[in-house]
């Protein structure tokens, strides 16, 4: 007489996966004690995650920090600057709307923004369209890694900064060939800086968003500053890709370009 073996137990349910939104603390293994590291940042999942990943203030709160959460927007095509600006405006003016404005004004053909001055003009028009009161935009020069800008960030300012992006989107030095825009939405001063915020470059981190990742990034302000200051020339490869780009007079390294320039926003 034959017997039928019992059916095997069902497989365990799959781990939660989301391709459209960043993970939350509750998505991680319940066996991990979140209070062990970065407890000071636990109120904001992405802030906690980026600081834990980059070993920033794991076991005690930073000396000072400021962070504003903006929803990520993914870029389509060379629209990194438009996406960063739209994030700053909480999506009140979409990247598509900004693209239409740039084409109409002659700032861009495809969404590329290689002039900080043109980006400021676009930002002013977008702020008006979004009807955000008391938000002001300023073109700044002279370097990001300085006492004045650090204090502005601590006091709640946000920045739009062009830089060279490495393969993992962190700042690098490629003479402007991989120019990319980021929204600087926070700062972390790890230890008491004493008499100078700039004495130790490893003591000052900025928290950034950009159009090629849904996740918050953390870089030292010094490396972002150096990357911004090395934006000398437009990518030779892009010059030969058959796409027409709008470049400012003097190139991206000139007076009307990106090198050594950034936008500072106050009033959010």
pLDDT of residue 220: 98
In a domain, 232, yes or no: yes
Residue 133 inside a domain? The answer is yes
Handedness of CA 148, 154, 158, 159 (dihedral sign): positive
Could you tell me if residue 19 is inside a domain?
Answer: no
Quote the pLDDT of residue 7: 52
Is residue 7 in a domain?
no
Q: How far apart are CA 81 and CA 101, in angstroms?
A: 13
Q: Of 97, 67, 104, give the one whose Cα is nearest residue 82.
A: 97
Residue 25 lies in a domain: no
Distance of CA 12 to the CA centre of its chain: 38
Predicted local confidence at residue 15, as pLDDT: 42
- What's the confidence (pLDDT) of residue 244? 93
55 located within any domain:
no
Tens of pLDDT, residue by residue over 186-213, are 999 999 999 999 999 999 999 999 999 9
8 Å CB contact between 245 and 115 = no
Exposed/middle/buried for 265, CB within 10 Å: 0-12, 13-18, 19+? buried
pTM of the model: 0.85
Could you tell me if residue 38 is inside a domain?
Answer: no
User: How high is the pLDDT of residue 10?
Assistant: 53
Regions of the chain with pLDDT less than 70:
1-35
68 vs 86: CA distance, rounded Å: 15
Residues 6+ apart with CB under 8 A from 33: none
The answer as to whether 165 is a domain residue is yes
- Per-residue exposure over 227-243, b if at least 16 CB sit within 10 Å of its own CB, e if not: bbbbbbbbbeeeeeeee
Q: Burial level of 46, CB count in 10 A (0-12/13-18/19+)? A: buried
- What stretches of 93-145 show up as alpha helix (H) in DSSP? 95-105, 116-130
**Residue 237, both tokens:** 């490869």
Question: Where residue 87 sits, what CATH number does that domain have?
Answer: 3.90.70.10
Counting the structural domains of the chain, the total is: 1
Residue 245 belongs to domain spanning: 62-266
- The residues carrying an active-site annotation are 80
User: What pLDDT score does 89 carry?
Assistant: 97
Chain-centroid distance, C-alpha 135 = 19
Give me the phi and psi of 35, to 5 degrees please: -70, -10
**Is 233 within 8 Å of 252 (Cβ atoms)?**
yes
The distance from CA 40 to its chain's CA centroid, rounded to whole angstroms, is: 22
pLDDT at 114: 98
Check: CB of residue 228 under 8 Å from CB of residue 259. yes
């Amino acid at each position: 007489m034959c017997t039928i073996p019992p059916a095997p137990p069902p497989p365990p349910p799959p781990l939660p996966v989301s391709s459209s939104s960043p993970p939350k603390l509750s998505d991680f293994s319940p066996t991990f004690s979140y209070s062990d590291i970065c407890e000071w940042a636990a109120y904001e999942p992405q802030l906690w995650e980026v600081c834990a990943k980059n070993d920033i203030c794991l076991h005690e709160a930073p000396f000072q920090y400021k962070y504003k959460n903006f929803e990520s927007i993914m870029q389509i095509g060379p629209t990194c600057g438009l996406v960063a600006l739209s994030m700053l405006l909480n999506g009140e003016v979409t990247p598509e709307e900004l693209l239409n404005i740039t084409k109409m004004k002659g700032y861009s053909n495809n969404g590329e923004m290689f002039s900080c001055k043109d980006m400021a003009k676009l930002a002013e028009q977008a702020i008006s369209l979004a009807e955000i009161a008391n938000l002001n935009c300023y073109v700044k020069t002279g370097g990001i890694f300085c006492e004045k800008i650090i204090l502005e960030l601590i006091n709640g300012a946000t920045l739009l900064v062009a830089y060279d992006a490495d393969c993992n989107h962190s700042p690098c030095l490629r003479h402007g060939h991989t120019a990319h825009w980021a929204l600087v939405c926070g700062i972390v001063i790890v230890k008491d800086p004493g008499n100078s915020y700039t004495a130790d470059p490893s003591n000052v981190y900025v928290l950034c968003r950009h159009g090629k990742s849904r996740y918050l990034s953390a870089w030292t302000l010094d490396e972002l500053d150096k990357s911004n200051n090395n934006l000398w020339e437009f990518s030779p490869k892009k010059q030969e890709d058959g796409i027409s780009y709008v470049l400012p007079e003097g190139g991206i390294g000139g007076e009307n370009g990106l090198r050594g320039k950034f936008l500072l926003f106050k009033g959010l």
